[in-house]
Chain A
Amino acid sequence: MIKKTLELTGQYILLMKRVFTRPEKWRIFWKQCLVEMEKLGLTSVPLIGIISIAIGAVLVIQTAFNIENPFIPKMYVGYMVRESLILEFSCTMVALILAGKVGSNISSDIGTMRLTEQIDAMEMMGINSANYLVLPKVVSVCLFNPILMLFSFMVGILGGWLIVAATGMITLSQYSTGLRFAFNGYYILYAVIKMIVFSFIIVTISALYGYSPKENSMEVGRASTRSIVTICLLILISDLMLTQLMLN
């Protein structure tokens, strides 16, 4: 177990050394960034939108149910929904969801290219395949995911608003007062930084597993599964560390 972890860490460092080099041609690099942003970022918008609107609505119902106390003002429902979304759901939970979608996509794409010798073909041409395939993904995902996180936050708030309007469990005025109550802008920065770190983990770890040598298509699937498990663990560990560092 320890030997395997050390081996993986070594492979990760060597891969990152190859990824973070100057691109052969900047024009190709930026073009790839746009392609990846569309493939890995824009296509995630509907999924994140649906999940966030549902979670926003559920948070309102659960919070309203749990603070049914005449001594606690109803506006706290809005406040708690906002804090839950920005501090944890819109960054950590969304990152975990993206680990499944984006991480498996990257790992299986690169794994298939490895299996079918497409990566060898690039290396034979004298192209640094890690730099060409992974760096644009790192840049585009690290840039786009914080936007996706802010989108999730806003859609989550909207989901809460919709359920408040539909059920009348609290008034819209109480909900919006809660949303604006004791707002701390630093939390947005904290969430953005967390999301950038998580995005980096998602792309680089899935690329690492994609690059591992493969003998057959079953191993592509296995590597994809292993990458998601590792990403989820690392996201949770880094979440703990970042929270301790930035909020304590």
Chain B
Amino acid sequence: MIYAEHINKSFGDQLVLSDVTVGFEEGKTNLIIGASGSGKTVLLKAVAGLHKIDSGKILYDKTDFTALADKQQKEIHKQMGMLFQGAALFDFATARENVRFPLDFFTDWSLAEKNDRVDFCLERVHLGDIGNKYPSELSGGMQKRVGIARAIVMNPRYLFCDEPNSGLDPQTAIVIDQLISELTHEYNMTTIINTHDMNSVMAIGEKLVFLYQGKKEWEGSRDDILHADNKPLNDFVFASEMARLLKNPIS
């Protein structure tokens, strides 16, 4: 369980997160949703420890992450995996080397053992035969899948995904969503996904947190979201023409 308590974060004079308190449930896909500029990415990165918060607490299983020394934070970081918006694969390394990267640093395994683990992870994301290609030779969807393989290679307890579907066609986006959801349940990870894609929300969202102008406006499940009595949330959910038609079908 990850718990963010009264988080405040600003960049210069601009307050980006204002008194956000939210819990992310273990073994579930937790989605942070909201319009662009609502503070989703900042919240995700703050929880993951990539942004230092101005005030508040971030608790990992009751351990206050924000109060830990760098060395102890690093130990918790080793239990995290993250899929970045642009995959963030290392340009200087092949797909296989990218996935092996954390293993090289934090295990004393032989090369054969490491390669076995890398092969397993690449197979798990349905990319068995592209190991020797560089990121620039891969499509956006493939890069995202290599990013997922790299994120899970160390068997993390926590998985963070920053807009996993951005820049992908709808079919590939569904594949990525399903993959993240499957892995979350397979390895009982606490997964936090930041998205504004309503398809993802309805397909894999188990716990939803809606941010609006830097504040937590609503939280609940995907069953509640369509019936929520919250104007900013309704404006966000029913923004597309298709969603409006579903809500108010033409007679």
Q: Is the CB of B78 within 8 A of A118?
A: no
Which of the 9-residue segments A67-75, A81-89, A121-129 touches chain B? Answer: A121-129
Chain A residues whose CB sits within 8 angstroms of the CB of B105 once the complex forms: 24-25, 28, 125-127
Q: Is the CB of A116 within 8 A of B88?
A: yes
Alpha-carbon distance between A10 and B88 when the two chains are bound, in angstroms:
28
Cross-chain contact of A124 among B75, B82, B104 (Cβ < 8 A) = B82
Cross-chain contact of B88 among A25, A118, A126, A128 (Cβ < 8 A) = A118
B66 → A minimal CB distance (Å): 16
Alpha-carbon distance between A127 and B106 when the two chains are bound, in angstroms:
9
Chain B residues whose CB sits within 8 angstroms of the CB of A126 once the complex forms: 74-75, 77-78, 102, 105-106
Alpha-carbon distance between A125 and B106 when the two chains are bound, in angstroms:
9
Alpha-carbon distance between A118 and B50 when the two chains are bound, in angstroms:
12
A27 → B minimal CB distance (Å): 9
B174 → A minimal CB distance (Å): 24
Q: Is the CB of B78 within 8 A of A117?
A: no
B194 → A minimal CB distance (Å): 13
Chain B residues whose CB sits within 8 angstroms of the CB of A125 once the complex forms: 77-78, 101-102, 105-106, 154
Q: Is the CB of A123 within 8 A of B77?
A: yes
A120 at the interface (CB under 8 A from B): yes
Q: Is the CB of A117 within 8 A of B88?
A: yes
Main SS of chain B's interface residues?
mixed
Alpha-carbon distance between A124 and B78 when the two chains are bound, in angstroms:
8
Chain A residues whose CB sits within 8 angstroms of the CB of B78 once the complex forms: 125-126
Main SS of chain A's interface residues?
helix
B140 at the interface (CB under 8 A from A): no
| Interface residues on chain A, number (Cβ under 8 Å) | 16
Alpha-carbon distance between A123 and B82 when the two chains are bound, in angstroms:
10
Cross-chain contact of B104 among A25, A116, A117 (Cβ < 8 A) = A25
Alpha-carbon distance between A113 and B91 when the two chains are bound, in angstroms:
8
- Contacting residues of chain A (123-146) with chain B, CB-CB under 8 angstroms: 123-128
> Looking across the interface, which residue of chain B has its beta carbon closest to that of A27?
B104
Cross-chain contact of A117 among B75, B84, B150 (Cβ < 8 A) = B84
Q: Is the CB of B90 within 8 A of A117?
A: no
Chain A residues whose CB sits within 8 angstroms of the CB of B82 once the complex forms: 120-121, 124
Q: Is the CB of A118 within 8 A of B90?
A: yes
Most buried by B among A24, A112, A118, A126: A126
A116 → B minimal CB distance (Å): 6
Alpha-carbon distance between A219 and B78 when the two chains are bound, in angstroms:
31
List the interface of chain A (C-beta within 8 A of B).
Answer: 24-25, 28, 112-113, 116-118, 120-121, 123-128
Beyond the given A25-B105, A125-B77, A125-B105, could you list 14 further A-B residue pairs with CB under 8 A, ordered by the A residue number?
Answer: A24-B105, A112-B91, A117-B84, A117-B88, A118-B90, A120-B84, A123-B50, A123-B77, A124-B48, A124-B77, A124-B81, A124-B82, A125-B101, A125-B154
